[in-house]
Structure 1
Amino acid sequence: MKAMVGVNVAAAVLCGAVVYAGMQHWQEKTEAQASEVKTAVVHKEKQFSDVSAYTKNLPDFITKQIESSIANKKPLTLVIATSAKEAGWPQQLKKELAATYGSDVFTVKTLSYGSQTTDELLSSHIADQIDQLQPNIILFEAPLKNDYQQLTLDETLENTDKLIHQLKDLKKTLMIQPSQPYISQTESYEEGIEAIRGVSEANWVYYMNHSLIWPLHLGEYINKDSGNLTKKGNEVWGEYVVNWFTGK
């Protein structure tokens, strides 16, 4: 009988130990899971806090797209349509966007149209070419520099209006920026960029005006023979767009 009592006591002790060990394991597991959730929440809050610092220069409609991209883990495709070469300031922007937001927020694609005028861009159906790149956001450079020697400003504005309507028909986020500076005997660069601003605003399109970054003397920024940007000119333009997208 005493032996039976001893066995029962031992069994009870063993059972209690097992129950205690199980409860302790469950508590440790629960605490670990809670810690993981807390860490994830903190990480998410920090991530969005950081993004708000990066997007302070951007309009709300771009900021919301970036936040949605991060929350849903769906990259945004930014298509840059520009006279510049991909290896110029667009590459600079692509690199800095990845460094700032991470490599999974922006996919940057460049459509370089070179020296084509607005007439030629309409004929080549550039809106269709952009659409094939499946953009979420379009940054379109109005090619004032390409136009000024071949078209009147009125013709440029009429063509730009048509291009904007075609691009808006894509139902994507659209922004317009002016071309690089140029020296003209018939019209000033300042007159051209303000005219493009007017067309953009008349069509309710955001105008990203980088014209104020260019000094009066453009010698080191523009090649005097070709009229194209020098390496330094590309860097200055790129720095402006980078700062705009990253809050610097």
Structure 2
Amino acid sequence: MKQLLLTVLAISCVAFLFLGNMYWKERTTLVASEEKTAETVEDTSTEETTEPQKEESEEEGREGIDSLISNWPEEAQVHFKDLMENGETYKIAIVGSPALGETENGWAPQLKEKILSELDNQVEVEIFQSGVTSIEFINGEEADKVLAYEPDLVLLEPFSLTDNSNQVGSVQNHESILMFLRILKETNEDSVLLLQPPHPLEGATYYPQQIEALEEFAEEESISYLDHWTSWPDDETLGDYLIESQDTPNEKGHDIWAEYLMDYFINQ
């Protein structure tokens, strides 16, 4: 009888150890499985969270650009965004007479700095300043330099004041603009031309008529015209914004001109 009890006890111990071992293995496997599943869910959740955030960030960036360039002609906006999507830069050329103030922190350098600071690596900006008439511009190397740059947008101050001082009439001035526009389109069919007048003069009579004709010409030819004259004084204080000879603006005049154009090119 004693021997039988010992045998039963031994068998019970073996069974208990076996069942305990099986339970431990199952429990360990279950815990490991749960941890792996949790890690998988966490990884998936992280990926699902990161991707929408990236897409949202890119979308916000595009919307920001759309807002900044919303004043531009429609075709310029479309071409800019196409180039941006392809990782290419949009080229802007600022062209005109010494009234640009290229070497003296004039409106052109100020505008260039503003555009580059807001649109960063999406754009290139070059200034092409020449002390020539419109006829000399279109027939000389000055126009060739601009065209060789292959700009996507040209902001042209079409030498109207220089023409006025050198007896070049409005008809010749307008013909020169049309010739330049035609060659510009041949160079880059997606390019856009913007026209603007030079600065106003104090006490002038014939010159304002030339500028009025320039604006009418732009409207007839469906060329965008930026009338910054609306930002200048129209009384005797105008002289305070020009150098003594009135050939170019002074610092105050450049600031007025620059502010108008910066508001146009960068809509904030």
Cα deviation for residue 75 of structure 1 reads: 2.5
Indicate which of 107, 112, 115 corresponds to 2:124: 107
Identify the residue that residue 142 of structure 1 maps to in structure 2: 158
User: For residues 263 and 165 of structure 2, what CA distance do their matches in structure 1 show?
Assistant: 31
User: Is contact 2:195-2:226 (8 Å) kept?
Assistant: yes
Structure 1 counterpart SS, 2:199 = coil
- The amino acid of 2:207's aligned partner reads S
Identify the residue that residue 37 of structure 1 maps to in structure 2: 51
User: For residues 19 and 136 of structure 1, what CA distance do their matches in structure 2 show?
Assistant: 60
Which structure shows the higher helix fraction?
2
Q: How does 1:97-246 map to 2 (within 5 A)?
A: 97-101=115-119, 103-113=120-130, 115-150=131-166, 151-170=168-187, 171=189, 172-182=191-201, 187-189=206-208, 191-216=209-234, 217=236, 218-225=238-245, 227-246=247-266
Cα deviation for residue 4 of structure 1 reads: 4.3
TM-score, length basis structure 2:
0.80
TM-score, length basis structure 1:
0.85
- Give the ranges of 4+ consecutive aligned residues of structure 1 lying more than 6 Å apart after TM superposition: none
User: For residues 179 and 26 of structure 2, what CA distance do their matches in structure 1 show?
Assistant: 87
Cα deviation for residue 47 of structure 1 reads: 2.5
Cα deviation for residue 184 of structure 1 reads: 7.7
Cα deviation for residue 91 of structure 1 reads: 2.1
User: Is contact 2:164-2:207 (8 Å) kept?
Assistant: no
User: Is contact 1:93-1:241 (8 Å) kept?
Assistant: yes
Seen in structure 2, the aligned counterparts of structure 1 residues 98 and 27 have a Cα distance that, compared at 3 Å, is: farther
- Listed as ranges, the gaps of 5+ residues in structure 1 are none
Q: Which has the larger radius of gyration?
A: 2
Cα deviation for residue 52 of structure 1 reads: 4.0
- The amino acid of 1:232's aligned partner reads K
User: For residues 227 and 246 of structure 2, what CA distance do their matches in structure 1 show?
Assistant: 24
> Is 1:92 the equivalent of 2:110?
yes
Cα deviation for residue 226 of structure 1 reads: 5.2
Seen in structure 2, the aligned counterparts of structure 1 residues 117 and 183 have a Cα distance that, compared at 3 Å, is: farther
Identify the residue that residue 42 of structure 2 maps to in structure 1: 28
User: For residues 197 and 185 of structure 1, what CA distance do their matches in structure 2 show?
Assistant: 17
Seen in structure 2, the aligned counterparts of structure 1 residues 224 and 75 have a Cα distance that, compared at 3 Å, is: same
Provide the identity percentage: 20
Q: Deviations over 1:148-175 (max 9, x none)?
A: 0111233323323322322232222222
User: Is contact 1:79-1:139 (8 Å) kept?
Assistant: yes
Seen in structure 2, the aligned counterparts of structure 1 residues 70 and 62 have a Cα distance that, compared at 3 Å, is: same
Identify the residue that residue 95 of structure 2 maps to in structure 1: 81
- Listed as ranges, the gaps of 5+ residues in structure 2 are 1-13
- The amino acid of 2:57's aligned partner reads H
Give the aligned length.
Answer: 245
Structure 2 counterpart SS, 1:180 = coil
Structure 2 counterpart SS, 1:138 = strand
User: Is contact 1:79-1:111 (8 Å) kept?
Assistant: yes
User: Is contact 2:202-2:239 (8 Å) kept?
Assistant: no
